Structure 1
Amino acid sequence: MVYGLRPIMEALEAGRELERIILREGLTPSDELSTLHRIARQRGIPVQYVPPMWFGRLGSRNHQGMVAYLSPIEYQDLAEIIISTFERGEVPLLVVADGITDVHNIGAIARTAECVGAHALIVPSRGSAQLGADALKTSAGALSHIAVCRVGSIAQTVQQLQANGVRVLAASEKGATVHTRMDLTGPLALVLGDEYEGVSTEVLRAADGTLKVPIHGSVGSLNVSVAAGIILYEAERQRNQKA
């Protein structure tokens, strides 16, 4: 953790990866505080205001009402990932986590994505599980090997992917096509949503299509990380068969 305005600013200016910044409610506005907000916004770092009592847990540290969590993940630029993948003559396979808040699920998805050879995991800067030490552990270290891209808006990212020739398919229990009947061999971004809410309506509308894993039992849905594994390995099977 980094405590205080000046150390946090130095970390930002040095290009350190920060998972999030916590600020005390009622801080006096200043030019430096405005600069902190601007840099955090540009880099997609979540900034959260909390009541003064939250800082009581920090004891006597000189935090000035400001704390930043260092990230164990080195985030990468999505556009560069797409370009470099095409330049290597590879077919992009990307995994998009839309509002998945359970750290164990995001870790398990990252692990499967890395094992199947996906080129990147895309996560939103807000409304998602924090990719800290717990996620890294749950992923069995996969988050240290797969490229992770943090974006401000999943819906806008869908448009960016489509503009770069990547087909976007959203997984949903109400999907239009069973995953084994969908062509998964081309440039692909698979969107996975929270287990309770699913993929957001905005993203579903923007996607090029929807797919589902068939359910024959009494339980209406699969764990999202299990569904991710089933679909990703079907994509891998189809690609190997085509090669």
Structure 2
Amino acid sequence: MDGLILGRNAVLEALKAGRPINKILVAEGAKSYAVKEIYELAKRRQIPVQKVRRENLARITETSRHQGIVAYTSPKDYVTVDDILEKAKVKGEAPFIVMLDHIEDPQNLGAVMRTADAVGCHGIIIPKRRSVQLTATVEKVSAGAVEYVPVARVANLPQTAQLLQEKGCWVVGLDAKASQIYYEVDLKGPLVLVIGSEGKGISRLLKEKCDFHVRLPMVGHIDSLNAAVAASIVMYEAARQRWTGI
């Protein structure tokens, strides 16, 4: 489904961000404020909008979770790590980057992107292999955050972590066995937050590259959280420290 954007919010944010769109399909009978705004923005940008049967959208997207809106576009471009650092520099802020170690679930990547946008994260780094990429499902789950959070795709995460350390960043891994709790450490400076895969956590070589590790306190019967949920908790703590200076 590369080249498709699914869902009202994802399509709306793509239009607002000025992303090139070739055509928009709207299910017959689809009505909401977002759909009305999509029509208005598409008309302003002279993008054709076509009404189709809802079952046709399901066939095109191979899912029923399209919310009655599908846009045809080119795949979202990746950026470089330097692009992410430059974004932080232009904003006059310490770099705030999330590195995802072989996250395979598109729901997790989309959710992380949504939180990253909310907290002002400058970008996300993913590996080229054994990881979910920027798919239509990721875009939909991100609710349009994909338009605002740059994603860099690299060949080697440990090497990239070392490069960022050389540029002054602290690389902090989220690890259930860490001795320090996430809110006990200073996350205000140049930060690369490393989140491991859903089942295996952070890979050994990347884990060794981390300057230190933090954990989430767990007092219940379940000993781990969904990767996106865990990432969101620590990202908001980093944002809180940056916003309050505490």
Give the TM-score normalised by the residue count of structure 2: 0.68
RMSD: 1.7
Q: CA offset at residue 175 of structure 1?
A: 1.7
Partner residue of 2:198? 195
Match of residue 104, structure 1, among 95, 104, 107? 107
Q: CA offset at residue 112 of structure 1?
A: 0.6
Task: Provide the C-alpha distance between the structure 2 equivalents of 1:71 and 1:182, rounded to a whole number of angstroms.
Answer: 41
SS of equivalent to 1:128: coil
Corresponding letter in the other structure for 2:161 = V
Q: CA offset at residue 71 of structure 1?
A: 6.1
- The 8 Å contact of residues 71 and 131 in structure 1, kept in 2 or not, is answered as no
Partner residue of 1:119? 122
Q: CA offset at residue 176 of structure 1?
A: 2.5
Partner residue of 2:172? 169
Partner residue of 1:141? 144
SS of equivalent to 1:190: strand
Match of residue 186, structure 1, among 177, 184, 189? 189
- CA separation of 1:91 and 1:241: change in aligned 2, threshold 3 A: same
Corresponding letter in the other structure for 2:89 = F
The runs of at least 4 aligned residues of structure 1 exceeding 3 Å deviation read none
SS of equivalent to 2:195: strand
Corresponding letter in the other structure for 1:221 = S
What does the per-residue CA deviation read over 1:68-122, in whole Å, with 9 as the maximum and x for residues that have no partner? Answer: xx96221111113214423542111000010000110111111111111100011
Corresponding letter in the other structure for 2:168 = G
Give the TM-score normalised by the residue count of structure 1: 0.69
- CA separation of 1:134 and 1:84: change in aligned 2, threshold 3 A: closer
Q: CA offset at residue 240 of structure 1?
A: 1.2
Q: Does 1:227 align with 2:243?
A: no
Structure 1 gap ranges (5+): 3-69
Task: Provide the C-alpha distance between the structure 1 equivalents of 2:80 and 2:113, rounded to a whole number of angstroms.
Answer: 17
Match of residue 91, structure 1, among 91, 94, 98? 94
Give the number of equivalent residue pairs.
176
